[in-house]
A and B are shown apart, each in its own frame.
Chain A
Amino acid sequence: MALHLAILAVLASLASALAPIPFHRSHRLLKGLAFLLLAISGIAAVTGGFLALFAEKPAELLLPVGLPWLHCHLRLDPLAGFFLAIIGLITLVVSLYGPTYVREYQGGPQPLLVLTLFTGLFVGGMYLLVLAADAFSFMASWEIMSVSSYFLVAFQHQHAKNRAAAFLYLLMAQVGGLCILLAYGVLAAFGDGFTFAAMASAQLDSSWSTIAFLLAFVGFGMKAGVVPLHVWLPQAHPVAPSHISALMSGVMLKVAVYGFIRFTYFLLGDILWQWGVLTLFIGSASALLGVLYALMQHDLKRLLAYHSVENIGIIYMGLGLSMIFAGSALPGLATLGLIAALYHCLNHAVFKSLLFLGAGAIIHQSHEHDLEQMGGLIRRMPVTAVCFLVGCISISALPPFNGFVSEWLTFQAALQGSALQGGVLSSLIPLAAAVLALTGALAAACFVKVYGIAFLGLPRSRHARKARIPQPAMLTAQGILAALCLVLGILPTWTVGVLNRIARDLLGHGLPEATAHGWLWLTPMDPRQASYGAPLTLLGIGLACLLAYLLLHPRKQTPIRTGAAWDCGFGPLSPRMQYTATAFSMPLRRVFRPVWSVSEGLEDTGTGRAYRLKIGDWAWLKVYQPLGALLLAAARRVTLIQGGNIRAYLAYSFFTLLFLLWVIV
Chain B
Amino acid sequence: MALISTLGTVPAPALAIRGLAMARGYRTLFRDLDIDLAPGQVLQLTGPNGTGKSTLLRLIAGFLKPDAGTIRWSPVPDEVSPGEWLHYSGHHEGLRDGLTAQDNVATLASLLGGDPARTGAALGAVGAAPLAELPVEVLSAGQRRRVALARLLVAPRPVWLLDEPFTALDRDGQALVRQLIGAQAAAGGLVIAATHQPLDLPDLVHVVLGGPAS
A and B held together in a complex: no
Chain B residues proximal to chain A, CB less than 8 Å = none
Chain A residues proximal to chain B, CB less than 8 Å = none
